Structure 1
C-alpha cells in the first residue's frame, strides 16, 4: 500500500508540472545591455560638444555666434540644448567668446585657466560661483566623486591674452588670461578624450600619451597659430598614439591653411583612425 501511495503522488506531481508548462510560456532569452556611446560633435574652430555615456553634455571652447564655420543652426546658443559643463582652454576670443553667455543660459560652470577665471570675475564678466579656478596638472570631478567624469588640465604651447572691452571707455584693454591649457576628459566608461587646445608641439606630449593613453585626440592642424599638419602628424604618430583623431582649428580663415588631407598623408601607415568631420558633424565611439 505504501508503494501505491508513492505512485499516486508521483502521478499527481507530473500532472501539475505538465499543466504549468502548458499555461506559462517560457521566458524570452535575456538581451545584452546596449552599450552607451560617446558622441563628439565638431562645431568649427576648436568648439566641440561632447555627450557622455551618462548623458552629460560638455562644451569646449565655445565660439559659435560669430564663427564663420559654425553651421547657421548652431549660431543660437539654445540650439545646443542643455549644457552641463563648459571648458575653456585659453583667453583668446575664438575660444571663449560665447562661454559667459552659454554659462548664464544653462547655469553651467566654466572651467578655465585660473588667471582668466580671476579676470572674468574681477571685471564682472562672470559670477564667481560659475568660474571656478583651475590649473595645469590639477584634476577636478565636476559632477562629484561619484559622477564618473574627471577633467585634467595639461600644458599647451601657446599664449592667452584676454582682450576686454571697457564699458566706460568703449576701448579694448588687454588683461590677464592665465596660461593656455589642454584637457584630458575621462568619461563614465573610461573613454579618454584629449582636447589639445591651441598648441605647438612640445616634448611632454609623449608623457601625456604614456600617462593618460587618450582614446581620441582633438588636434589643431591649421598652421600659423598652431601646429602644421605635418608636425601634428608627428605628435600623433610618435608621441600620443591614440586610437582616433579629429582634426580641429583649421580653415576658419586663410591663415589657418592646414588641411585634414595633409595631416592624413603625413601620418602614413600609423594605426590612428582620422575622422575628418565637417562643422556640425558627429562621431560616436
Structure 2
C-alpha cells in the first residue's frame, strides 16, 4: 500500500512576467512508489532521490534521470537502492564526473540500454575507460541543445556551472585511486513537451551569468544546490533565485548528505525573505512533485 503525505510548501507565490506563460501549479508532494506509473496526462513528475539524483517523467511519458547516485547514497530511500526500482529509463544526464553525481550512471545505462548524455566533455572518458560502450555515450557542448526523442519530445540544453569535474577510479590491478579527465561541469535546461522548463543546476557556485541563463531560458523550476562547502550555500542560492533567475518554483538539493553540506531548506527560505516571488518546494528523498 502506498501512503501519501503532504509536505509544506514555503515562501511567497507570485506571477512573474519574465517567465512567460503560466505553468501548472504543483500538486501536493507525495511519496513515490517504486512501481513504474505514467505521469498524469499533461503533467510533469519530479522525483528527488537524495543529493542531486532526480527522475523526471515528462507529460509524454519519457523518463530522464539526472545524476543517479543511488546505491551508496545515504539519503536514497531503501526502496530505490536497486537500480531496477527506477523502472523504465529512457535517458540519463550527468552534470559532472564526481562520484556523487556520475554514481550509478554507467550501470543504469547498461541496465536500460539508455544513453548517457553529457554536455561537458566527459563522455569520451567514459568510453575510453571502458565504463560504457560507445553507443551509450552521447556528447554535446555548453549552449548546445539536443532533441533525443525528436522535435516533439523534450529538449535539453547544457549550460555553465561553476565547479570541477575530476573522474576518480580505483585501478583494479594496483588497488590505487587514479584521477582522469572528467570534462567540465554543466547544468541542464530540460524543456518538456508542454513547454515547462526545469534547470538542474548540478554542483555550482554563484556566478553572474546565472542572470543571463535565466533571461535566455526562463526556467519555471530550478533544482538548486544549497549545501555549501562544495557548492552554493543557502545565502548564495537565495541570491541566485531571488535576484538573478526569478523562477516560479525552486527545489533545494545537495544538502546534508555529508557533514560538510550544512545548508538547510529553512536557511534558504529565510535568506530568500518574505518578498521573494518564488515558491520553494521541499520534498524528502523518495517524494515526488507533479507539475
Fold match by TM threshold 0.5? yes
- The verdict on how the C-alpha distance between 1:56 and 1:254 changes in structure 2, with shifts beyond 3 A counting, is same
Which residue of structure 2 lines up, in the alignment, with residue 267 of structure 1?
A: 272
Which is worse superposed, 126-135 or 236-245?
Answer: 126-135
Residues of 2 paired with 1:121 and 1:166: CA distance?
Answer: 16
Pick the aligned partner of 2:171 from 166, 169, 174.
166
> Greater relative contact order (Cα 8 A, min sep 6): structure 1 or 2?
2
Q: Does 1:53 align with 2:59?
A: yes
Which residue of structure 2 lines up, in the alignment, with residue 41 of structure 1?
A: 47
Which residue of structure 2 lines up, in the alignment, with residue 84 of structure 1?
A: 90
Residues of 1 paired with 2:55 and 2:258: CA distance?
Answer: 22
Report deviation, 1:116: 1.6
Show the 5 A alignment for 1:94-109.
94-109=100-115
SS in 2 for 1:86: strand
Report deviation, 1:113: 4.0
Which runs of no fewer than 5 residues in structure 2 stay unpaired?
1-39
Show the 5 A alignment for 1:160-239.
160-239=165-244
SS in 2 for 1:115: coil
Report deviation, 1:169: 2.1
Note if contact 2:234-2:268 (Cα within 8 Å) is conserved in structure 1.
yes
Pick the aligned partner of 1:111 from 112, 117, 126.
117
Residues of 2 paired with 1:193 and 1:261: CA distance?
Answer: 22
Which residue of structure 1 lines up, in the alignment, with residue 147 of structure 2?
A: 141
* Count of residues paired in the alignment: 251
Which residue of structure 2 lines up, in the alignment, with residue 276 of structure 1?
A: 282
Residues of 2 paired with 1:237 and 1:35: CA distance?
Answer: 31
Report deviation, 1:165: 2.0
Which runs of no fewer than 5 residues in structure 1 stay unpaired?
1-33
Note if contact 1:237-1:270 (Cα within 8 Å) is conserved in structure 2.
yes
Query: Aligned-pair RMSD on alpha carbons?
Result: 1.0
Which structure is higher in helix share? Answer: 1
Note if contact 2:121-2:182 (Cα within 8 Å) is conserved in structure 1.
yes
Report deviation, 1:36: 1.2
Residues of 2 paired with 1:51 and 1:115: CA distance?
Answer: 26
Residues of 2 paired with 1:96 and 1:47: CA distance?
Answer: 10
Residues of 2 paired with 1:186 and 1:145: CA distance?
Answer: 11
Residues of 1 paired with 2:175 and 2:62: CA distance?
Answer: 38
SS in 2 for 1:132: strand
Question: Which of these two proteins has the greater Rg computed from alpha carbons?
Answer: 1
Residues of 2 paired with 1:108 and 1:215: CA distance?
Answer: 26
Residues of 1 paired with 2:135 and 2:280: CA distance?
Answer: 38
- Structure 1 segments, 4+ long, off by >4 Å, are none
Residues of 1 paired with 2:205 and 2:129: CA distance?
Answer: 30
